[in-house]
Chain A
Amino acid sequence: MQKILKVAQREYIETVKTKTFILMLLMLPVMIVVIIFFGRRLAGSKAAPRPPLKIAVTDLSNELSAQIKTSFDEHNTSHPKRQILLQELQAHETSDAVEKQGKTKLRQGQLDAYVLLDEDILEGPGKIHLYTYKPKAVNLDMLGTVENLFREVVINWRYQQQELDRQLFDKLRNVPIETVEVGSADDEERIQSEGQRIARMVVPFFFIYLLCLGVLSMGQQMLSSIIEEKSSRVIEVLLSALSPLQLMAGKILGLVGIGLTVVCLWGAAAYGTARWQGLNVDVAPAMLPYFTIYYILAFLLFSSFTVGIGSICNTIKETQSLMMPVTLLCIVPILAWQNIIQQPDGTLARVLSFVPPMTPMVMILRLSAGPEIWIVEIVASIVLLAASVLATIWIAAKVFRTGVLMYGKRPGVREVLRWLRQS
């Protein structure tokens, strides 16, 4: 046991010390901060002047030119940095000819958009046609403004025709809604914005995303550690002092430590940012022990996968194809995230809960999704997971024992199976 701890300790310290690990550890929190920080900056830069949007309009109803002009003038005065240059294309001959002319100008780049109002737009089923040619992404929000301005012009005209007071209607239609979440204490109340509601949806996702990142980064460290020991031939010296099982157990333990470190630091960083951003992230404290169990079991399971994979490979390159299925196991729950969260008791969620490599992620999703899950199901999933961890370690130990001293060709499936049969 003493020896196992020594191995784990070295594994942990030597990994934590490497530059790549520190970089990787810092990358996620730094990225979150950068996105929030610059996201605001960029949003602020919406006020920066942009080149004016050039549009042309043909009004086949011949009723609205004046209103359109006023409406756009008003827009241009109130948004000096978002000018829209409006020109009118008169329908001198046929409407088809003018439409064609407009589209040509569009293609030549003289216009950013060409708008055609049908003749029966005011009282019939006519439409506003908005033509663009290879629209630039930067102009997309401006085009939205253009659409709105035209729609408003038409609506206003219709109100006037019916002799209705538009302001009155708007007033009648306006019913503000405030979403408030009540806390456990009497005066504890929080007004929720839409963003916070989304954030609440994302929290469970964050937990499994964290688990997935932890598993994958840990796996990577495990592989590079074993490959280093194999290629520098330290392994034989190690095996002269330790049994293969001790060495493997130490490695797994050290790497689980690494995984938990990553998760704790990133989790803390994410929680800190959320608070800083005024988001209240609630995780029911009752869930945390379960989460911890699932996290640890998941790390044990995946690190024994990788220890087996690493031991039969000689280069990092060789490990990649074998790591593919492991990565996929992480991705499936992430893909099924929405489905599981909306139906935590659905068939998909229940079935995936009992597919061991996915159990931790699916169960974390289901637990954080809200409804009470039958305790028996939780315990059963943990027992099954623990059993599969033991089975994986048992298999990994056999593969490790033989594989770790094999140099040269990577053994095939049949050979690995033969090792498993040997006692």
Chain B
Amino acid sequence: MLSGVCKAFGEVHAVDNLSVKVPVGNIYGFLGPNGAGKTTTIRMIMSIIRPDSGEIEIFGDRSVEQAKTRIGYMPEERGLYRKMTVRKVLSYFGAIKGLTAAELAGRVPWWLERVDLADWSDKKVEELSRGMHQKLQFAVTAVNAPELLILDEPFAGLDPLNTDLLKAIILEMRNEGKTVIFSTHVMHEAEKLCDSILLINKGKVILDDKLAQIRSRQRSHAVCVELEGDTSFIRKLSIVTKVESQDNRLEITLAKDADPQLLLRALVERVRVQTFEVKVPSLHEIFVNLVGKSDAEDS
């Protein structure tokens, strides 16, 4: 979808030769530290700003203007007309996204109901709380039943209840075969939702793959165990590099390429093993690890 896209603001290369293909029908996490170029990239996809070089294709077409009615975009900076009523705002944005009056009559109440704002439909936007504002913004984004949903930090400022509501809607839309791109720097959100991940830093791609594959590739060498008996021998095993203990719970770091199965076998011979868990690295760790590495390479 994106190929060789560059955008510079003065001296700063916000996006540097970025080439990405977003898989259809997936939830695509767009991750990166603050200032990595996420919002800039998204704005270029929406042709709100123009890339200095490179090309962007949406639905196999260069013209984003044509595709705009098939996209729902929720910008990082939320904004709605404060003086209009909730219903009118939603109808207006639906209308400029190309919905007909008949379609609006059905979808506007449906969406207000879906995001729990039906009781507020005749109130002015300025009377809404932040969370409600955000939910309305999401309804505005999705009212045209877009095939591609682009969400910039969709959960910022939402309480857990509303976050779950939005997540449920997003998953629902994915299951209907729609593509969702969402940017965030909160890793556990991405971890729970995303099928694929794009990690960028300083305008460059660091990682672009399916989440499951990323996990298996980034296998960690840590094992968590709960044991009964004398555990002092573990430190002396050749495959172990580090042991941290907390009561009877141990976190064991293995040497590179060591098979956790070898450790298990060694343990069972000497002590009672209550739990044995090969730790899957969290996205958070991967993120810190990779971004830290790329920063180190740069300097």
Contact = CB atoms under 8 A, between A and B. Distances in A.
Interface of A: 2-3, 6-7, 10, 14, 18, 228-229, 232-243, 405
B84 A6 contact: no
Interface string B73-93: 111011111111000000011
B52 to A, nearest CB: 11
Given A6-B96, A232-B80, 13 more contacts: A2-B98, A3-B96, A18-B83, A228-B82, A229-B79, A229-B81, A233-B79, A238-B96, A240-B46, A240-B48, A240-B71, A242-B96, A243-B68
Given A3-B98, A234-B80, A236-B48, A10 B75 contact: no
A-B pairs, top 8 by smallest CB distance, nearest first, are A233-B79, A240-B73, A233-B77, A234-B79, A236-B75, A241-B97, A232-B79, A241-B96
Contacts of B65: 243
B68 A237 contact: no
A239 B50 CA distance: 13
A241 B93 contact: yes
B97 to A, nearest CB: 5
Contact of B75 (A7, A228, A240, A242): A240
A14 B83 contact: yes
A18 B82 CA distance: 13
A250 to B, nearest CB: 9
A232 B75 contact: no
Contact of B80 (A2, A10, A237, A239): A237
Nearest to A235: B79
Contacts of A237: 73-75, 79-80, 93, 137, 140
Contacts of A233: 75, 77-79
B95 interface: yes
A238 B141 CA distance: 11
Contacts of A229: 79, 81
Contacts of B69: 241
Contact of B48 (A2, A6, A7, A405): A405
Contacts of A236: 43, 48, 75, 77, 79
A423 B77 CA distance: 27
24 contacts: A6-B96, A7-B96, A10-B92, A14-B81, A18-B83, A228-B81, A229-B79, A232-B81, A232-B82, A233-B78, A233-B79, A235-B79, A237-B74, A237-B79, A237-B80, A237-B140, A238-B96, A240-B46, A240-B72, A240-B75, A241-B68, A241-B93, A242-B96, A243-B65
B49 interface: yes
A243 B93 CA distance: 14
Nearest to B150: A240
A405 B79 contact: no
